[in-house]
Copies of this chain bind each other. A is one copy, B any other.
């Protein structure tokens, strides 16, 4: 029933004008110390809470930040959501979480809704089909930071994993252990990450003097089904690969199932390396070796960059690109090739 107490009520109770109350509670030292303290006290007693909407209408700032991801199943997005949420909150912002299912239409709708809500900024993993929309948002004063994927149609501040280097490092690790036929299960080639992970793999191979064999590569969506299909296809070959590199943690699940189907043991019968780390990999048996793509660091940096541009006197739009280094974590699913 709690009739919301407004600034006017506080002012009246303190016998001052509304604006004095406003200034006192803002605490910028624009009022005498005594009235400031007094109003703080009265406001607290009355249980006054400022109305965010009214304030936002006036100041044109909602302290709301849109966070747009494809889903929450993927470990990188999950980490992104948790970290960004935490960092924003520490700076007095709230995250508006939206999920697009990697669907351009839903993404477009989401972006417009967020704009309507007058969010102060936007952190988004773009589908790549709404670049214009994002760019106009950014240009009109709502900073946009892209993360994980880049929207290639337009120039926006972007935080990415060092995918070429990560895939290169992983592949190289396998090569150094003597593997020569390395199956790669990778993302769709329409996506930045898909292409870059493939290119890193390829470069490592070529540097090692091994011809790139496209039939060792299976590209598809980042889903278990892709891993399963790829695994089956690769295992059906006469010259079965001695190692598999799954370029995403979800497809790795499918690979595990594919291996289990045929009773192929890890790491004795085949080696498995996975791009992206998830807690399950460390805890399972055998523990899966991974190239950690640095989701945490990406999230931190994305939040940092956006917050930076949200500060009072920030450069309007710095379309820089940032890369987060990948890191090899050796566990038990990879071993030197048998002779």
A171 within 8 A of B: no
Contact with B along A248-267 (1 / 0, CB 8 A): 00000110110110000000
CB neighbours of A53 from chain B (8 A): 53, 56-57, 62, 118
A50 within 8 A of B: yes
Contact with B along A266-286 (1 / 0, CB 8 A): 000000000000011001111
CB neighbours of A62 from chain B (8 A): 53
Q: A71-B82, A94-B96, A256-B283 are known; give 6 further A-B pairs, CB within 8 A.
A: A49-B115, A64-B117, A78-B78, A94-B117, A253-B284, A257-B285
CB neighbours of A81 from chain B (8 A): 72, 97
A136 within 8 A of B: yes
Q: What's the least CB distance linking A58 to chain B, in Å?
A: 9
CB neighbours of A1 from chain B (8 A): 139-140
Contact with B along A39-63 (1 / 0, CB 8 A): 0000000000111111011000010
* A99–B82 CB distance below 8 A: yes
Q: What's the least CB distance linking A99 to chain B, in Å?
A: 5
CB neighbours of A73 from chain B (8 A): 78, 82, 279
Contact of A86 (CB < 8 Å), options: B99, B280, B286: B99
State how many copies of this chain the complex holds. 2
Q: What's the least CB distance linking A66 to chain B, in Å?
A: 9
Kindly state the separation between the CA atoms of A214 and B35 in the bound complex, as whole angstroms: 62
A224 within 8 A of B: yes
* A259–B283 CB distance below 8 A: no
A98 within 8 A of B: yes
* A280–B253 CB distance below 8 A: yes
CB neighbours of A89 from chain B (8 A): 98
Kindly state the separation between the CA atoms of A62 and B52 in the bound complex, as whole angstroms: 11
* B86–A82 CB distance below 8 A: no
CB neighbours of A82 from chain B (8 A): 71-73, 99
- 16 residue pairs bridging A and B, Cβ less than 8 Å apart: A49-B116, A51-B118, A53-B56, A57-B57, A85-B97, A89-B98, A94-B96, A94-B98, A94-B117, A95-B97, A95-B98, A97-B97, A253-B280, A257-B283, A257-B285, A260-B284
Q: What's the least CB distance linking A238 to chain B, in Å?
A: 25
Chain A positions 239-254 with a Cβ under 8 Å from a chain B Cβ: 253-254
A32 within 8 A of B: no
* B283–A139 CB distance below 8 A: no
